[in-house]
Amino acid sequence: MKYTLALTSKTRILQAMILSMLFSASGLVWAESSSETTKPDEEQPVEVIANRLDAAEKLGKSIYIGDVVITQGTTKITGDQVSIEHPLSVLESAVATGKPATFKRYSLEQQKWLTGHAEQITYNAKLKTLLFQGDALVEQEGENSIQGPEIFYDLTQKTLRAKGSGEADQRIKVIFTPQTPAETPSTPTPEQP
């Protein structure tokens, strides 16, 4: 009887050790994968999918044609044609054209998506700026949107500038979405039960 109890205790200890090792290993894997996903987009690999490619590798320039999709981290650019400058295999800028060309990027800081589309989008990865030209629209998830012939957006400063003209179809249009106050849970004070 004593022997059975001792074996059961040893078995439980062994099980606890194995579970502990498994949880530790899975924690390391999770930590590695989560640190990979929290890297800035600029430090992530660039993936390009297209129907055709014309490249001048020595010049660091490529033109992708046909259903182009470029992804780097959370940044995604699509277009009928995209010209990329990539000296030393580092994405410096991309000019996407399409009906429409699109841009999408997740802001870890704001925990929201920035999306936009236009006939032409110029993305300067080095300066972290976007220029939307021709029937442009830029929206922040759940917030405001702006529409016009030309919109410039600075991803670092979170500033934008829009240009229009006096013509009715060439003016800018801004939609402000009212923010509902966030419900904050009441923190009990020492006097409260």
Each of the 193 residues of the chain gets a pLDDT tens digit; together they read 444 444 445 544 444 444 444 444 434 333 334 444 578 888 899 899 999 999 998 999 999 999 999 999 999 999 999 999 999 888 899 999 999 999 999 988 889 999 999 999 999 999 999 999 999 999 999 889 999 999 999 999 999 999 998 787 789 999 998 877 664 455 444 454 4
Cα–Cα distance, 48 to 46 (Å, whole number): 7
Superfamily (CATH H level) for 45-175: Lipopolysaccharide (LPS) transport protein A like domain (2.60.450.10)
| Distance, CA of 77 to CA of 47 (rounded, Å) | 11
Contacts of 105 (CB under 8 A, 6+ apart): 41, 74, 75, 76, 113, 114, 155
Residue 154 · residue 181 · CB < 8 Å? no
Residue 84's closest CA among 133, 149, 71, 74? 71
Candidates 161, 187, 25, 95; CA nearest to 103 is 95
Indicate the pTM of the whole model.
0.72
pLDDT at 75: 94
